[in-house]
Amino acid sequence: MDLAGISLWLLLLHFSRIPPIAGHYKCRECEQYKFKLPERCKYVREAAQVFERKCGGTYPLMAFTKYRDTFIKTGEPFALYMPSSLDYVMVLMKDSALQHCARIQVGNTNMFFCLDDVNNETIKLDVAHMYCFPFHIQLPDDLMQECLKENKMTDGYLNDVLRTRRGIIHYTFGDSRGHRLICGYFWPKLLLLVLLLPSMMSRKFLCELP
């Protein structure tokens, strides 16, 4: 498994505040987190920054292969948003009404304010999760580069995203496999173990065992 893929999984597990619920299909405990903003994401609301859409495209095979993010499939939509300060970049994953907003402001994990030139509206999402990293992450860099290629745009925005100091990933889910996975630590850890098992069972690894 690629190191970047392992890193993303470990980061998502570390920055998730949802307790372990092994095998819980409906994840009733997740309801207590609905409409709440994770502690590490509160700075986004407190800063009251307006995020402007920079680029939107379809999730590339390159990113799926590199990061092994099972919460989004190749070909699903994503969009990158940044405030004028360029302090952070937000990646909106999967199809939702947010994908069509020119500018957005964060209310909480499930509620955003869509600020367009003609109409301003409040968008409420049924199931969503947000992860905020207090450092620069590589995923938005790669997605911006692929997005600019897909839309035949110049590289100006790539320089902007490289300057950001914090990364934010937001997922919108319906009744999907991704939501059931993200509800607890059990299944993501099990999947990670399955992905690592071939390398762990290699002859070199076994020969090095005491």
Global pTM value: 0.72
Q: Is residue 202 part of a domain?
A: no
Task: Tell whether 104 is covered by a domain.
Answer: yes
Which range of residues forms the domain containing residue 134?
3-197
The answer to the question of residue 188 being in a domain is yes
- pLDDT recorded at residue 12: 56
Count of domains for the chain: 1
Separation of alpha carbons 27 and 15, rounded Å: 18
Strand ranges for 25-165 from DSSP E: 51-58, 77-82, 88-93, 103-108, 111-115, 120-124, 127-133
- Residue 206 in any domain: the answer is no
In-domain check, residue 207: no
In a domain, 209, yes or no: no
SS3 72: coil
Residue 128: name the closest of 17, 34, 6 by CA. Answer: 34
Provide DSSP, 146-174. Answer: HHHHHTT--SHHHHHHHH-SEEEEEEEES
Q: What confidence score (pLDDT) does residue 7 get?
A: 55
Other beta carbons less than 10 A from residue 85's beta carbon = 10
Q: Is residue 149 part of a domain?
A: yes
The arithmetic mean of pLDDT across residues 20-31, rounded, is: 41
> pLDDT digits over 12-23, tens only?
554 454 433 333
Is there a domain that residue 171 lies in?
yes
End-to-end CA distance of the chain: 24
